Amino acid sequence: MELLQTVLITLFTLAILVSIHEYGHFWVARRCGIKVLRFSVGFGKPLYRWRDKLDTEYVIAAIPLGGYVKMLDEREGEVPEELRHMAFNNKPVGHRLATVAAGPLANFLLAIIVYWFVFVAGVSGVAPIIDKVEAGSVAELAGLEVGQEIVAVDGEATPTWEALHLRLLERIGDSGEIEFTVKYANSDLTYSSSATVETWLSGVEVTDLMAGIGIELYRPKLIAEIDQVVAGSPAAVAGFKTGDIVVQADEQPIAQWGDWVDYVRERPEQAIAVQYLRNEQVLSSLLTPERKIDEQGQAYGQVGMGVKWPEWPPELRRDFQYSPVTALTASLKRTWDMSAFTLQSIKKMLMGLISPKNLSGPITIAKVASASANSGLSSYLSFLALLSVSLGVLNLLPIPVLDGGHILFGVVELITGRPVSDRIQAMGYRLGFFIIISMMMLALYNDISRL
């Protein structure tokens, strides 16, 4: 069921991004007088098709991993004399450039609109309070202390965990000083300090940026208090109820929920003697986890209970409300920032400052899409907007077969006054195809390596 949900969410996400991207090409092509032969969402065998009054064929195809807009073009076949003026290749270079650029621009517009809705609905987060500093780390060198709130990095405000994460992402692979601005609880005074890094986190797959600077952020203690029990599960059969708190398993203390989860997962089909609190009374029960198999084929235990998440202290919550106007400003800035970050990351990867292990493919995208959807509408919309920005930026790269490659050929034509020769274009497309396939294979390899 979980796999099916992941697949459906991923297909839905891709369908939105592809449809918007291709509609950008389609909309501008129509307005430039270019005849559109087909608008397809997906590749392969058509599952459903229809035509409009202008004889454009609309297709929903079997492989939903992309899409395309096919336009009338003399380079791809014979064109009747009466339609030659509607062929893509016969249009002024400005019209062709506008049509090609419209796809990525549509993705940026989608991101702006989605971010606008997110900001209008309100954005919440929690303050990044330092709970632990690792000896010899970047944080210790900068003089950071337990209990301090990190309010800015390199002069950029970090009011929430997410903001701090984004600021640190921008510094991966950098050399030089990282400046931290902090303050203590119940004080408005801020202090700045810095640490020098050399190609920070370069050459490694980045999974935890906080560990990268040597800190852990405060979070409320997650005790093993049960919030829900699945009907018919081992936990239900053993008599557990909402509100029970697991304190011991086989006479070993259970301090936090993670301890309990680890203990259960390591013991599929093995009876566990559990002590738990109910209304301040200590009770005992024998619990046998079900045997489950994960994606790697490894067995693990599951008992069918969920944890009660603790509330964050109100003083650590950060809630931001935006008017329609300020939300537009914020969405434009966020789209610009994420576009710049994507380009900077590509540059660093080409320079060897960011490990190619950080390149992600369809499997990772599917997992994150599903996780963001499970986290709520705001989380999913933010992820959708980020993907849309990434798709727009990547398509503008000057690589033949991508929109950016077509734009490059168009710009050359504008400068020289004549089209790039078919031979050079063909060579460029072959090179571009090789580059794209290589990147896709690397991303897929990274995905499989993470399984």
- Residues labelled catalytic: 22
3-state helix, strand, coil in the chain (%, to 5): 45, 25, 30
- How far apart CA 225 and CA 375 sit, in angstroms, is 21
CB 222 within 8 A of CB 260: no
The secondary structure element, H or E, covering residue 188 is none
CB 378 within 8 A of CB 121: yes
DSSP secondary structure string for all residues of 118-168: HHHH-EEEE--BEEEE-TTSHHHHTT--TT-EEEEETTEE--SHHHHHHHH
CB 287 within 8 A of CB 238: yes
Contacts of 430 (CB under 8 A, 6+ apart): none
Count CB atoms within 10 A of the CB of residue 403: 24
Q: Is 369 helix (H, G, I), strand (E, B) or coil?
A: helix
- How far apart CA 144 and CA 136 sit, in angstroms, is 12
